């Protein structure tokens, strides 16, 4: 048998295996999971990561707050964290409610639908990811804001006195990676709490 015949026989075996192990489970998952929470999460991610208005908000929160407005700055930051947690929880809850409805219809003939624990684990993993998407969007948006500020700083550096420009900097001391790690950790914690079973 030549190498070509060997490869041809392997490719004939690979097609049904790929159909059975990948395409059929993917098609079943597409029938079970609703597309609406995923589309909403994609829209939220794009808005939080790329919108110029959100970038201005990120820059305003990254600036060191004045001492006389510290309470209002902290209250605004707390309101933003609560709003992000609620957006993630709504995405997660919408996914769980819509996919559970479809799972119950598709698996209604089974005596124990909980027996397919891989399906429920996949559902919870998708709920966690959907609850985490807004925090990921904020993190990407913060890096975009950092790059925007750095680009403006480099432009101004060529046109102004460096000492005067350095006095006008009001960004907080922690680096971008520390802020991003803190946001991602907070997002993961909130996502984990929002997709836990009741």
Encode pLDDT of 38-72 as tens digits: 889 999 999 999 998 888 888 887 776 777 878 88
Nearest CA among 128, 127, 126, 135 for reference residue 185:
135
Rounded distance between C-alpha atoms, residue 72 and residue 135, angstroms: 22
Domain ranges of the chain: 1-31, 33-194
Question: Residue 172: which of 90, 64, 84 has the closest Cα?
Answer: 64
Asked if 51 and 140 touch (Cβ cutoff 8 Å), the reply is no
Q: Which residues are CB-contacts of 153 (< 8 A; sequence separation ≥ 6)?
A: 165, 169
CA 31 – CA 194 distance, rounded (Å) = 24
Residue scoring higher pLDDT (129 or 65): 129
Q: How many CB atoms neighbour CB 50 within 10 A?
A: 13
For 71-128, write each residue's pLDDT tens digit: 888 888 888 889 988 998 889 888 888 877 666 655 555 545 555 566 777 778 888 8
pTM: 0.66
């Amino acid at each position: 048998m030549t190498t070509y015949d060997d490869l041809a026989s392997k490719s004939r075996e690979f097609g049904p295996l790929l159909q059975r192990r990948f395409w059929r489970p993917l098609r079943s998952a597409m029938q079970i999971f609703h597309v609406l929470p995923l589309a909403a999460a994609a829209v939220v991610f794009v808005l939080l990561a790329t919108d110029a208005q959100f970038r201005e908000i990120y820059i305003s929160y990254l600036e060191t707050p004045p001492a006389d407005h510290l309470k209002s700055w902290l209250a605004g930051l707390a309101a933003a964290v609560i709003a992000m947690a609620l957006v993630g929880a709504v995405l997660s809850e919408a996914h769980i409610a819509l996919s559970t409805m479809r799972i119950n219809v598709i698996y209604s003939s089974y005596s124990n639908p909980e027996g397919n624990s891989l399906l429920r684990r996949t559902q919870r993993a998708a709920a966690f990811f959907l609850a985490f998407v807004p925090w990921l969007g904020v993190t990407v948006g913060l890096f975009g804001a950092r790059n925007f500020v750095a680009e403006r700083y480099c432009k101004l550096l060529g046109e102004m006195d460096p000492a005067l420009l350095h006095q006008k900097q009001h960004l907080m001391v922690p680096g971008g990676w520390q802020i991003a790690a803190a946001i991602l950790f907070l997002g993961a914690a909130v996502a984990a709490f929002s997709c836990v079973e009741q």
